[in-house]
Amino acid sequence: MLTPSSQPMILGFDPGRQKCGLAIMGLDRQLLYHQVVPSAEAIAIITGLRQQYPITQLVMGNQTSSKEWKQKLSEEMADPPRVILVDERYSTLEARDRYWQMYPPTGLLRLLPQGLRTPPRPIDDIVAILLIERYLAQLTHRPSH
């Protein structure tokens, strides 16, 4: 079995204009890190994370600003990671549900139907987690040749 430090890590990246979601997960699907960071600091933070974790690739959604960010990463990073684009449709809706699984509501919030609850913080990091999971699901469901 691989130890967390020796196995390859995947960085999930959900870029946005104001803020970006980051997540790091091993191939064993163990979540090691997740955070929402200001967009202006994202590349510096990714660079720092790559010094802490053996990140082998970056998984990013294929919508909105993915082309701009892919170019930005390759231009602004000395050793840019391999970038893999995955389908990010419905990831924000899915991330809202996942938020409540990760952080179950308490008090009166529990009485509200889940569809009416709004997470009390940005969930871009949870979107980044879902992007990694979608990528790993693609890997395990590919037909073998």
Q: Where are the domains of the chain?
A: 9-140
Please give the single-letter amino acid code of residue 115. G
Question: With 90 as the cut, is the pLDDT of residue 53 above it?
Answer: yes
Name the CATH superfamily, with its identifier, for domain 9-140: YqgF/RNase H-like domain (3.30.420.140)
Q: What is the per-residue pLDDT for 125?
A: 98
Q: Containing H/E element for 38?
A: strand 31-38
Q: Which residue has the higher pLDDT, 143 or 69?
A: 69
Kindly report the pTM of this predicted structure: 0.89
Cα(114)–Cα(84) distance, rounded to whole angstroms?
Answer: 32
Mean pLDDT of the chain: 90
Q: What is the per-residue pLDDT for 43?
A: 95
Question: With 70 as the cut, is the pLDDT of residue 122 above it?
Answer: yes
Instruction: Tell me what percent of the residues of the chain surpass a pLDDT of 90.
Output: 72
- Condensed to tens digits (0 to 9), the pLDDT of residues 62-114 reads 987 888 999 999 999 888 889 999 999 999 999 999 999 999 999 988 899 98
Q: Are 34 and 131 in contact (CB under 8 A)?
A: no
- Per DSSP, the three-state class of 83 is strand
Q: Containing H/E element for 127?
A: helix 124-140
Q: Are 19 and 39 in contact (CB under 8 A)?
A: yes
Region 15-30: mean pLDDT is 94
Q: Are 36 and 121 in contact (CB under 8 A)?
A: yes
Q: Containing H/E element for 22?
A: strand 19-26
